[in-house]
Structure 1
Amino acid sequence: MLEAIYLVKVEGTLDELRELFVEGAKREARKQAKKAGGEIVATGVKKTRKVVKSAWQKYIGKKSNQIRVKSGKRKGMLDLAKMSRAYKRAQKAKGKR
């Protein structure tokens, strides 16, 4: 079966054409989304809740508290064992005040 194709001449300013085609397409898309999902899909990004850092995470985050390995194959890396001992000492001293 052959389908008939009709050509229509459209005249107007750019704004008028945009209104005809772009806005019309947006409206049509909204109708389709509403029909398919029941509601218009909400656009936007869900906000994630900021996780509160623990005292240890705050401690190791400070540059002044970072103890680095001085030599060997781990040179320049953080020495977490020494940092842990220093943190525990600092917490004890903080508690005695």
Structure 2
Amino acid sequence: MSILVKNASNTADLQPPYPYSTWIGYWEGKSGIKLDANTKYNCPAGDCKNACYKKDFDGCHVQKVSDYTHKMYIIPLCSSCNQRTDYFFVDENLLVPAP
């Protein structure tokens, strides 16, 4: 099911917890989904047309628009979508709670 999200603010200084060195690594570890380095994947943002290799994805902090608890989640997004200031749809099953 798709859910409306937005990029969380002021997250650039947040670091993934040990033993993860990247937010993509954290997302892979918690979601159980491993991205192959040699495969192109579509950006999970519903209206994005970018297809990227694993190295081109950012592990992004997002928040559900309809959730006023301000809970953050990690999801892989292309660099362009990591800079978005609007709302966009993603598959809710790809969201991993941020620590």
| TM-score normalised according to structure 2 size | 0.18
- Name which structure has the greater RCO, CA cutoff 8 Å, separation 6+: 2
Structure number with larger C-alpha Rg: 1
| TM-score normalised according to structure 1 size | 0.18
Which structure: greater strand fraction?
A: 2
Which structure: greater helix fraction?
A: 1
